[in-house]
Amino acid sequence: MRYRLFQRGATYVILCLTAFLFIYPFLFMTFSSFKAQGEIFSDDLTLLPRQGWHLENYTALFERTSFARALLNSAFVSVVFVSLSVFLCALGGFAFAKYPFPGRGPAFVFLLLTMMVPTGVTLVPLFQIVSWLGWVNTYLPLIVPGLANAFGIFFMRQYARSIPDSLLDAARIDGCGEFGLFCRVVLPTLTPGLTVIACLFFMNTWNDFLWPLVVLNRQEMYTVPIILASFMRGEGDRFVPFGTIFAGSVMGAVPVVLAFLVFQRQFIAGIMAGSIKE
């Protein structure tokens, strides 16, 4: 009994220490966003501000930079991408799971093989296509290329395979068309899986840095990661202090954290349900 209690206590201690190691950088970033510039660069680093809590970093972030526009850009791109991508991935996954068309097996294998191609390999040809279409410095290259991605289709296929064929046949007998069947019967059944990929897609789109950096070169089109990177060299002749960078990092992380907190129960339930589906 004592050994079991000691083992459980040691496990909790190790887990708490590990969690603290992951959380500490975010705590330091958050508290540093309320520090004065001189305190940030002082030799005696402390977690909490010692010279009072300052809001000047947040004031400078929104008054002296175009961070508010970057927030709107990221929000628009993320919401539109997630809305369209979740629908298309569910549509593709349902087709692979329930429609026996010629070449379905090889097509699905080829789809999975595309997941093994590094992003850097497709960066140049994809940019050439986007440039030829005249999409540079627009929202389209941030939304269109990855809408029906392989991971989302594969993930939703695993969920769609669990839908009973009898349920689909009953809807067809009642006069439901194929698209109506998908919208009225399949989508509500796939809600746990849709929540999981929606959260993952939102996080990836919001935090994407490399691809927006390639296709955007106008400041009014910058997303949050790009505008934060531009702060390192300042805007024009004006140097942006690290306090403002910390404040921008905090504001940039808030939407992702809120999205997870709001949908964490559905997210965890979807992950657990997907782990036991055949």
Q: Residue 78 has which token pair?
A: 């993320």
| Selection from 14-18, 113-117, 158-162, 267-271 with the highest mean pLDDT | 14-18
pLDDT, tens only, 154-197: 989 888 888 888 888 888 888 888 888 888 888 888 888 888 89
The CATH architecture that domain 55-275 belongs to is Orthogonal Bundle (1.10)
CB-based contacts of 145: which residues, under 8 Å, 6+ apart?
A: 126, 130
- Tell me how crowded residue 189 is: count the other CB atoms within 10 A of its CB: 17
Q: What is the pLDDT of residues 59-114, one digit of tens each?
A: 888 888 889 999 999 999 999 999 999 999 999 999 998 888 888 889 999 988 88
pLDDT on residue 69: 93
Question: What pLDDT digit, counting tens, does each position of 218-227 carry?
Answer: 888 999 999 9
Does the pLDDT of residue 238 top 90, yes or no? no
Instruction: Report helix, strand or coil for 230.
Output: helix
Task: Say if residue 241's pLDDT is above 80.
Answer: no
The token pair at 254 is 């808030």
Read off φ and ψ for residue 161, nearest 5 degrees.
Answer: -65, -25
Full-model pTM:
0.85
Model confidence at 274: pLDDT above 60: no
Judged by average pLDDT, the poorest of 25-34, 49-58, 228-237 is: 228-237
